[in-house]
Structure 1
Amino acid sequence: MTNDELGAEIRRLGPWHHDIEIAPGIRTGDPAWRPEPDPAFGTPSVIDPFANFERTVADLFPEGLKGRSFLDCACNAGGYLFAARKLGAGRCFGFDVREHWIRQAHFLAEHVPSDDIDAGVCGLAEVPGLGLKPYDVTLFSGILYHLPDPVAGLKIAADLTKELIIINTATFPSRQDGLILNPESRAALMSGVDGLAWYPTGETVVREMLAWCGFPHTRLRFNHATANKRGRLEVWGARDAAVFDHYDRIRPLVVPSRLSRLTGRLLGRR
């Protein structure tokens, strides 16, 4: 395909959330190829899954993902599948409930190295019926806060994970730990499909959910505020604490000083 033909296909399959280079100078997130906005579907943000995932893997596994399998729940266009394969992962599988994103993943598979990668249209509740073998590493990003039963949903993914699960989720910070109602559109591309969903209030809730699912060892990658009194965090959960050996060596835990703890209490921080 010529560059113009690639661009036309990118536009036809849009809008895109994953920005991936499919030919020299041709990226799916290029504004030149964006379709006209459709209010019914919303306007997805654009992210670079390769850059995001390379940083994560470098912190956890200095040898990359060689010898490890990879599962991506709610994989969108499959960007993290292709990134995992580039980093040496073997068997890679992703699923998303929206056909829109899987059409994009299949298009990418024609232009980005994709051996041992598969992606299909599937809802999380249907996954146990697929007969999948467990995966070493699971990505559970951008899905927890779109589920009508987030604990049961996470358990499905956890039961298919042998080593590490990565949760990246929006939050609704509150002084009381819990889940807060998140009613959402069933049509918008970046929403769930059930209408009913829940925000975790923060890190403690996600850690407790992971522990109940069999992943008691956790590390907080980040936790920051976003717009409209929301937040975003990423927590890594492991069955065995040894998974974090490399991460703990390169990013040792900083214990707050007595003065900083006192200041935190005076400011109402934990």
Structure 2
Amino acid sequence: MSAIIELRSITKSFGPVDVLKGVDFTAHEGRVTALVGDNGAGKSTLIKGLAGVQPYDGGEVLFEGNPVTLHHPRDAARLGIEVVYQDLALCDNLDIVQNMFLGREELAGGTFDEGRMEAEAARALQTLSVKTVKSLRQKVASLSGGQRQTVAIARSVVKKAKVVILDEPTAALGVAQTAQVLDLVRRLADSGVAVIIISHNLQDVFAVADDISVLYLGTMTARLEASQTSRDDVVGYITGTKRMTGVDA
């Protein structure tokens, strides 16, 4: 299966500290790839490079098989790469539709086309089979944590993202809300989007991921199919007590 995103020998340093040391990474359409590792492993740096926030120092980035440069968030957005950060970047004083189109409002005759935006927002939520939102005109301040995460993910559907990166999407959520968000992540991948999820919660990872990539001190120590590995094995790769031969060696 060809990868929609392929990173080859990626490096990134901050002064004398080498944060990424020749990392290879892939993500595929219609699959959820979990990126896991301990604090300081390099997960955030790898993702910020993909988002164009902190360009890589070296290596090659391929998108749909073609070499690309990601020097600015606009570069990532043009390709269809969207990131849902842990803080979600939602405005509490705006409603769901306004948040989903913030910064890219649809215009008609020089004014906001509210009807079109509302219809597209409703279509995005319908695509993801979202049933927990009562009204598209609810203020985000009135939403639960799980509903906020839903709005942030649906925003990427409105933007017609090909790759969605989720940074700790279930952090601080209760059991029921976590289940709702993980179900939403699965439906997003089933719609053909490549989903990359960063998580410290291995229970969530095994509940939703197809593939697991493990970073350890700036190197990709394992790339695994979730169905062919175990929690104990992944913990071993995260802590450095296990290592796959031929992976970023």
Fold agreement, TM-score > 0.5: no
TM-score (norm 2): 0.31
Bigger RCO of structures 1 and 2 (CA < 8 A, at least 6 apart): 2
- TM-score by structure 1 length? 0.30
Higher CA-based Rg: 1
Would you tell me which structure has more strand in proportion to its own residues?
Answer: 2
